[in-house]
Each structure stands twice: as C-alpha cells, then as structure tokens.
Amino acid sequence: MKLAIKPATGLAVLLAALSLGAPADFAAAALFGAAPSLAADTHAAASATVSAPKICAQPNDAVREYAAVIERTRKEQPELAEALRVFPKGADLHNHLSGSIPPEKYLTLGGADGACYGPDGGADSYTLNGGTSSGGCGAGFSPISGASAAERERIMESLSMYRFGYPDTQQGHDHFFATFARFRAVSDNACNTAPMLAEVLRQSSQDGVSHLETMLSFQSSAVNALARQLRQKFPEEAAYRDERRFPALRDFLVDAGLNDTVAAARTEIAQYVNKTRTLLKCDSPDAEPACGVSYAFLATVNRTSAQGDGSPDLAKVFTQAAFSMLLSSSEGRVVGVNLLSKEDTAVSLAAFQDQMRIFGYFHEAFPKVNIALHAGELTPCFVGAGNPALKEHLTGTLKAGAKRIGHAVSFAFLKQAEQSEVADLIRRSDALVEIMFTSNAQILGITGIKHPFQQYRAYGVPVAFASDDEGVSHANLTDEWIYAYQNYRLTRDELQYLGRNSLQYSFIPGAPLWADVAKGKTVNACAGDSPGSATMSKGCGRFLKESARATAQWEYEARLKEYWRGYGKYFGKR
C-alpha cells in the first residue's frame, strides 16, 4: 500500500479510463500508478512429491474491480473516504517492513547510499545494487542519483506494482514477488532500517492505526552461517524430519553460537528503535504524530529456502526457526514469529509438512512465543483444482500453533464440509484470519464475491484487515477499509468489530479486554464498566494496569467514542 499518497492521486485518472471503456490493464495501472509524494519488507499436498504449480494464465479482472470501488468513493463521496481514512483502525498485524516502503522512498534512500540501478537480467526491468567497493557502479549500472525522470519511472515500475498492466494473473503474481529482490540492496542495508520504520509508522498514523506489528529478519548473515554449520554436521535429510533428533540439532546450534547471534540481534533492535525515535523527534516538543503508534517486530522464517539442486533447505528453516523463537522468547520487542514467502512454489509445497513439524516442535519448546503464519495464499489456478494444499495449508498451520493466519484465500475453494472443518478448527484455536484485499487482487486475482471474507464472517471466524506490502502494492491501508465498507456493505458496528478484533488478536503482552468481541462482552473484571470511559472500577483498573493489551484496547474505545461524535454523520443505517 502506499506511503504519503494523496488520496485522489491517480484515481481520477482511473475513473476517466473506466468511463472511456479502457481495458482492465490500463484502468488498474491508473490506480496503482498513482504518484505519491516522497514524504516518506508446504504446504504441500500430503505428499512431498506434489507436482510443480500450474501456470495461472487467467485474466486478472480483480484489480480493476477493486480499484473502481475505491476511485468511485473518493470522487463521489470524498467526505466518507476521508472519514474512513481517519477511522481508528486499531492494529495493522500483517505488515512486511521492506514491502511497505514505496519505490519513491527507495530511490531516495538508494541515492543517498550511492546505490546503483541496472537491467534485471533479460527482463525489461531494473534492479538495484550497492555499487562496487570503490564506490562506483558495475558494468551496465549507473548511480540512482543520476537517473533521469524517465528512468526513475521505470525503476518505480520495477520495484512495485506502479503502472503494472496485469496481462494475466500469473504475471501479476510473478512481478509482485520479483520486486523484493530488486530493492534488496537498499532494504537490507541496516542503515536504512530505522528510516524505513519511521516511514511506515508515519503512514500508519495517517491511516488511523494505533499499533503496528511488522515482519523483519535479523542477523541474516550470522543465521545463514549457523545453518551451513548445521547442514555440515547433519547432512542427511532424515535429521530434519524426525522430531526425536530435533533436540540434538538445537543443542548443536546453541553450542555453535546461537545465543550470541540472538544477543547481537537484541543490540541491533535497540539501535533501530533508538534511531527511529530520533528520526521522528519523539523526545522533543516537535514529536511527529507517528510517535503515538506503538509497534513491535515479528521475526521471520523463509519457506522457500532451497539448496542448490532446488530441494528444500530444511537446515536453514530449522536454524531460522530456532533463532526466531529464541529471540522472541528473550526480546520484548519481538512479539512473535512468522513463516513467509510464496506458498505455490515447488519447494514450498514439497517442504510444507516438514516445516510444520519444525514449527510444531518449537511451539512445544517455546509455548509462550506467538506464531502467525502465512497460509492459504493459494488458488486452484496456481496449484490445481482439488489440490490437498488448499485445505492442508490452513489446518496444518493451525495445528503447528499459529494464532493468526495471513491471507487464507484458499478457504474459498474448499467444499462446504471442508470449510466447516477448517472454520471449526480456527474457532477452537481462537485464531484470527488476516484479510488483505489489495495484494490478494494483485497476486491471486481474487476479490469481491470470490474472496472468502464474507464466508469467514458467516462461519463466525474472527477477521481483521491488514496492509501486507503497501509499498509494493502502491496503495495504503485505508483502501482496504474503503473497499470493504462499500463492496460488502459493512455497518458501523461491523467497522468497530474489525478494529476491535485487530487489537484483540494482537501480540501486545497481557490478557485482552474482551471476553467476546462479537458480543461486545468484556472480561469479568470490567463487566460493569464502560470501555473507554475516563473512570473505571477498582477491579477493572487493576486489570488494565497488569495488561498492556487491555490498556491499548481501552484507549481504542476512547478513540472510537470521540470518532463517532465527529464522523458518525457519514455512516448511515444499513
């Protein structure tokens, strides 16, 4: 989604395109090609022999449909669009830090770094690199700082969905995921982490978010070195598929320096936090509004880790999981662990059960560490109709200990009995499904009635909206809310429910305020109190004092009350 974007920028172009009968690719490009200001990161079928994903060449009309709803609202109901922008959205729980930075900001950061741009292989795209050891650029590359206006436009197109044409669903999927490698030279520069975090917090503040949980990898080089040592010591694949051997693998990593790597990560995180506060002037009278957004990190594990021959690199997954779980158990600012990257690749499909076995082991070893995994970012178009992965990526993830599931779009393609089974497991696990309409439209070609959002609600499954990769998507979190409110005819109470849910299932420490969000029932300690009020009973006060999460929820209710007094007039009865 996009940082510091003017709400109507590009959308007026889209409306004109639609009114003139422009094709879907041009109309979609008009929305996601809006130029922001520069103000500101196996599920396999049951068997490891799952065949490679099919090529999804079907037309992607989802982006056009999604864009039209947002544009129409911004043009015809600007007051409503603004009211939805400032609506208290609670927490943004599914956010990739590197993917949340718009290409314009990467151009600025890269230019200051002395980074270079050049052709991305044989594709008609650019990629970035850090330049040579002497400070120049390699063959075929040029300094970002010297790029012409036309070249900057092409770089932006290469680093995001900016002006992407969506010729079919597969190409949108591929372009989306290809962007991360293209800006990695800038996003992986530790000097840029704090400026990136500051920009995401600014956008969160602009979008009415009060708490952010963003995904980030730490000490990658050191963790990769540990993984290589582990693989050398235990080269046979069977070691990573037999839970009885997992304690020995873990002990080896500890002896090889795992604790030292965790300590280095904790120092690294403290530096990020302190520098971000400085950038936002949080300790001065000129503190930016973004200082009011609380935030925490989720350490990441890469599900597409592969060896040179393309087979799953389970040693790396095990090492990343061991490091991430230990870090989260010892560093308060790392509130959980997430498994990410493409689910539909051959290596992801083949390794899924092994990866879940690894996560299940660490969930038992670190029962207090929160787990939130990507799961079900799949459709039959990519993996074939009836592929067991469509269901098993959901159930397997929950059984491995996940308390939140990111995307979970494959639910829409299950038979009714399977949906009932999955929904029951989600409810029994007291888990949340993170909904991200923009990236689902861009990557999977899914939106509207094809999206499982309404199905989840019908089954009583907790859901909340999130931004995912707003920089790559070239959009923002408010777009998710505008689209949902208009397309699914949400009511005022349903908007509140979604915001409340996001904080209820956040990983902020402490017990939640609500015993039942859907019924508006608080925990017993606050049963006789009015959430958000200036006064409360002694029992409720003690409860809030002991829980940061309940306190954040109480403050959210106060924001809601103030919000409805000022903006309630824009939301009629439905």
Sign of the CA dihedral with 417 first, then 421, 427, and 431 last: negative
pLDDT value for 54: 53
Q: How confident is the model at residue 136 (pLDDT cuts 50, 70, 90)?
A: confident
Residue 339 pairs in a beta bridge with 301
- Length, in residues, of the chain: 574
> 428-457 pLDDT, tens per residue?
999 999 999 999 999 999 999 999 999 999
pLDDT value for 311: 94
Residue 156: pLDDT over 50: yes
- Side-chain-facing half-sphere of 250: CA atoms under 13 Å: 18
Flag the least confident range among 51-65, 82-96, 506-520: 51-65
Question: Position of tokens 């082991």?
Answer: 361
Residue 326 pairs in a beta bridge with none
Burial of 417 (0-12, 13-18, 19+ CB in 10 A): exposed
Q: Retrieve residue 420's tokens.
A: 């009932």
Enumerate the domain spans of the chain: 1-102+159-508
Residue 542: pLDDT over 80: yes
What is the mean predicted confidence (pLDDT) over 388-396? 98
pLDDT value for 20: 32
> 69-117 pLDDT, tens per residue?
999 999 999 999 999 999 999 999 999 999 999 999 999 999 998 999 9
pLDDT value for 21: 34
> 189-236 pLDDT, tens per residue?
999 999 999 999 999 999 999 999 999 999 999 999 999 999 999 999
Residue 243 DSSP SS3: helix
Residue 5: pLDDT over 80: no
Q: How confident is the model at residue 326 (pLDDT cuts 50, 70, 90)?
A: very high
Instruction: Tally Cβ neighbours within 10 Å of residue 418.
Output: 15
Residue 14: pLDDT over 80: no
Quote the mean pLDDT of the chain: 90
Q: How far is CA 15 from CA 224, 448, 476, in A?
A: 48, 19, 18
- Proportion of the chain above pLDDT 90, given as a percent: 87
> 485-496 pLDDT, tens per residue?
999 999 999 999
Secondary element (H or E) of residue 202: helix 193-206
Cβ(116)–Cβ(18) under 8 Å? no
Residue type, 389: A
pLDDT value for 284: 95
Residue 296 pairs in a beta bridge with 213
CA angle (548 as vertex; 547, 549 as ends), nearest 5:
90
CA distance 57 to 278: 48
Residue type, 223: V
Cβ(140)–Cβ(119) under 8 Å? yes
Question: Position of tokens 């879940």?
Answer: 356
CB within 8 Å of 294: residues ≥ 6 apart: 210, 211, 212, 508, 552
pLDDT value for 138: 87
Residue 95 DSSP SS3: strand
pLDDT value for 29: 38
CB within 8 Å of 147: residues ≥ 6 apart: 107, 117, 155
CA distance 537 to 529: 7
pLDDT value for 17: 35
Q: Retrieve residue 224's tokens.
A: 């990769």
DSSP 393-449: HHHHHHHTT-SEEEE-GGGGGS-HHHHHHHHHHHHHTT-EEEE-HHHIIIII---GG
Instruction: Assign domain 1-102+159-508 one CATH number from 3.40.50.2300, 3.40.50.620, 3.20.20.70, 3.20.20.140.
Output: 3.20.20.140
pLDDT value for 134: 74
pLDDT value for 478: 98
